[in-house]
Amino acid sequence: MTPRHLADLTWEEVRDLAPRARTVAILPVGAVEAHGPHLPLGTDAIIAEAMARAGAERIEAAGGAALVLPTLSYTAAPFAADFAGTLSIGAATVTGLVLDLARELGRHGFAALAIANAHLDPAHLGALASAVARAKEERLLPVIFPDLSRKPWAARLTEEFRTGACHAGRFEGSVVIAERPDLVRESIRAGLPPNPSSLSVAIREGRTTFAAAGGPRAYFGWPAEASAEEGRATVATLGEILAEAVRDALAPGGGN
């Protein structure tokens, strides 16, 4: 069953969701930022939308209800800010927007706001974590955010992802090939040499840009090894992660 998208419904159809109090709203979140010379600026949004779709399918297959919100594509992206086309906004703006969405969804009677996030810039992750904490403080509806960079979720993703050398490499490239092959500059991708520089190590060392982290062309990892097969498997895993995070958060005592 194809997941429902809020923007495709009329207001009366949203009003009549049965029952709305059990419906989880899923927000795909990405960024407009450089992803090497071979992937589009909207790569994160493509991955987030695939994660949201796969997560919604699993929530509904388990007897729940899910509705996918329009994608949030503008966020904090300072690591890529020096590259043409990257649009980075303030972290506080992102936190405020997510909180406002949580307030509105709560007003409409939804059960939770789940974030299908595919952008891993530390400033962005901090903004989402802040929104989760503040929503809890304000007693808003649950904001569920499985941070892929942390346990237990990171361990379930690919070997390249776990190395930290995973921006516009095999991990992300595979998903884009599976979802939007028409946007991949295939002749460039196939000839790119590996870049094993780890972003996670660079972040721990205090680096704050892709160039300083060892990515002068805004990619890390093994882009030439990406495949549609791996991309489809990764989307399935991302959907499982999102659905499990929702299930755990909404289980009795799960929000404590």
Q: Is residue 183 part of a domain?
A: yes
CA separation for the pair 152, 111 (Å, rounded): 24
Q: Is residue 225 part of a domain?
A: yes
CATH of the domain at 151: 3.40.50.10310
Q: How many structural domains comprise the chain?
A: 1
pLDDT tens for each residue of 26-82: 999 999 999 999 999 999 999 999 999 999 999 999 999 999 999 999 999 999 999
- Quote the DSSP letter at residue 221: B
The answer to whether position 61 is within a domain reads yes
Is this prediction's pTM over 0.85? Answer: yes
Alpha-carbon dihedral angle through residues 48, 54, 58, 59, given to the nearest 10 degrees? 40
Question: Tens of pLDDT along 10-31?
Answer: 999 998 886 666 899 999 999 9
pLDDT bin (cut points 50, 70, 90) of residue 256 is low
Residue 255 lies in a domain: no
Q: Which domain holds residue 155?
A: 4-250
Weakest mean pLDDT among 29-38, 88-97, 106-115, 245-254: 245-254
Structural domain contains residue 51: yes
CA dist 255 and 249 (Å) reads 5
256 lies in a domain? Answer: no
227 within some domain: yes
Residues 6+ apart with CB under 8 A from 141: 102, 105, 106, 110, 111, 112, 113, 135
Q: Is residue 29 part of a domain?
A: yes
